[in-house]
Structure 1
């Protein structure tokens, strides 16, 4: 099978890390993130990290929680969040609190959800996140529709929000099912010194390959397929 797409990624300066087992994928990603955080701590005395939620990152989060780090000097936020309280099953904050439980109370946590309104919460979080720019590490995921964070295809302002110089750092968006979301924008995500994308399985690989030829408005992950992105891919979807 031709891997011309891999050459195309490398021509864009995108690094590719491939594993065949979900355990190796999670451990490798955790070690990569931890190494980047340690470097930031040495150079700047603090590290700023944005993580994705959902089910896919759970093994990675469990592995990350086992990394030996000066967690008290790490600032942590989410790439995106559902507009629900942290006591709700779909809350990404709840997911992080659960799977980073050994270290969560040691980090400087900045929630996106604040319970005001999606627009107000985005404004409050965005103002606070301005002081965090640039991020040291952002870990992205990708849906089968090509969305990343809560930047979905066909949103009226998605092209604007994907830009590195967009005015807002955090935006109120709607998912495909019209549920309200909060998301970091291109201003925050493109700022990250280490940009990592974690995906698994043949279906998502095909979406990624297709994104090389698609407009970001129709496939938002396409906006990030360039240096300094590093893709961690696992052929095992489990």
Structure 2
């Protein structure tokens, strides 16, 4: 296991293995998102209370899940970078931040669109909504810190510290509906309990969540490969690679 861990930290090895993994994740992402969208938007029955407006769940919930998972991944990468000084972890954390910020914005925007017919308002300072907005600010802070220092290493360390500290917001987001009175509904489904929705509404949601995660992995691999080429441009293997590409 440690051998694999050390290999994963090699930019050259990661660049090679990610080239083989990336097409599979792209294919899975397209297959799952297309099938989940068609099933959820065209064939799933309308909700007995919300009607067809509930269908935004097939975008809102996967985006919200992914927004939180990406920040956790960034925090883990930050720990690996700070403790073991593995460059790949810092590269991955850097490329993940804009993806996480985009998913957080999608979750907030889709939630606002969903909230209007459901709650009668676009926004309310609800505990879940407010903590998700804080997550967006944390993503913005991580991205800004990387460009706020003349030294790339200083920016990486500052961004890593913020990611490790900011991850405390994730359990607040998750348990906000249990800790405080909120308008936001509880979790749509959990691992330990039976879903409240019927199967023909729940399965397309699961498919969409998996599709979003495959999309995230594929995009992260692609962006990390580009970051490797940029940072390792002076290395012999990169020069050979770019020379062969010409």
Same fold? TM cut 0.5: no
Q: TM-score, normalised by structure 2?
A: 0.27
Q: Which of the two has greater strand per residue?
A: 1
Q: TM-score, normalised by structure 1?
A: 0.27
Q: Which of the two has greater helix per residue?
A: 2
The structure that has the greater radius of gyration is 2
Structure number with the bigger relative contact order (C-alpha 8 A, sep ≥ 6) is 2
